[in-house]
Amino acid sequence: MTLSNSQITKLGDRLRDSELSENDLTMLDEFRQTFSDVDEQAYKIIRDTLVKFDDLTITKRKRKTQQSIVEKLKRQPKLRLPQMQDIAGCRIVIEGGTQRAQNVNSVLEKAFEQQQWQIESKDRDEHGYHAIHIIVKMDAKFYEIQLRTYAQDVWANLVESLSDEKNTLKYGGSVQEQGVMTQLKTLADEFSKIDKLAHEATFTAYQQHIEEAIRHVLSH
């Protein structure tokens, strides 16, 4: 069954505002599957474009789960399901800082422009999380490329390791979690300073600066 934009929007409203029915979850899974083509096409462009880059890793993300979609809809009351940009995507982690990330961003933008994709790049700065998100679009389907420096990936993985299964830490959960996030946001600020100067140092020295920042901030 081909789902119309109106049907998908109404589905998102039901998922946000009411108990989940079996029919709605089935429809949501059908919607998730419609991202298969954009997923494969975008990932191929990325792999082909960056094949000669030996200072980064590309990881294809699993399709956003039903639970994650519902949770995001509830966190963002004004978000329409057809406009959710991160149902399909990948993550690129660079062995470098801000300057290198900007260079890779430019290369990817040019590659997608040549293939007639719509593109929007934006610096994400939210709850201490920093990264470049490149949103590409083809045939009304979005694909999100998370482009992280090495330090930004260390920070994101640290938050992940400290979060419980409900993932409330980065959204301001308990009083204790809020205290931890204050430290982590301070650490993110230190990482940003390190990233801006990363191109002036060896990768080993860059890693050492990151480790020193972690010890300094989290020991207080």
The pair of three-digit structure tokens given for residue 131, joined into one six-digit string: 């990264």
Query: In which domain, by residue range, is 46 found?
Result: 5-218
Of the candidates 82, 60, 91, which has an alpha carbon nearest to the alpha carbon of residue 153?
Answer: 91
Question: Strands 89-94 and 118-126: what pairing?
Answer: unpaired
Residue 195's pLDDT is 98
Q: What pTM value is reported for the model?
A: 0.90
- Report how many domains make up the chain: 1
Residue 205's pLDDT is 97
Give the integer Cα–Cα distance in Å for 128 and 145. 19
Phi, psi of 158 (to 5 degrees): -65, -45
Distances, alpha carbon 177 to alpha carbons 163, 172, 199, in Å: 9, 7, 34
Per-residue pLDDT of the chain (220 residues; tens, 9 = 90+): 678 999 999 999 999 988 889 999 999 999 999 999 999 999 999 999 999 999 999 999 999 999 999 999 999 999 999 999 999 999 999 999 999 999 999 999 999 999 999 999 999 888 889 999 999 999 899 999 999 999 999 999 998 888 765 556 666 566 777 778 888 999 999 999 999 999 999 999 999 999 999 999 988 7
Question: Strands 129-138 and 118-126: what pairing?
Answer: antiparallel
**Strand, coil or helix: 27:** helix
**Strand, coil or helix: 93:** strand
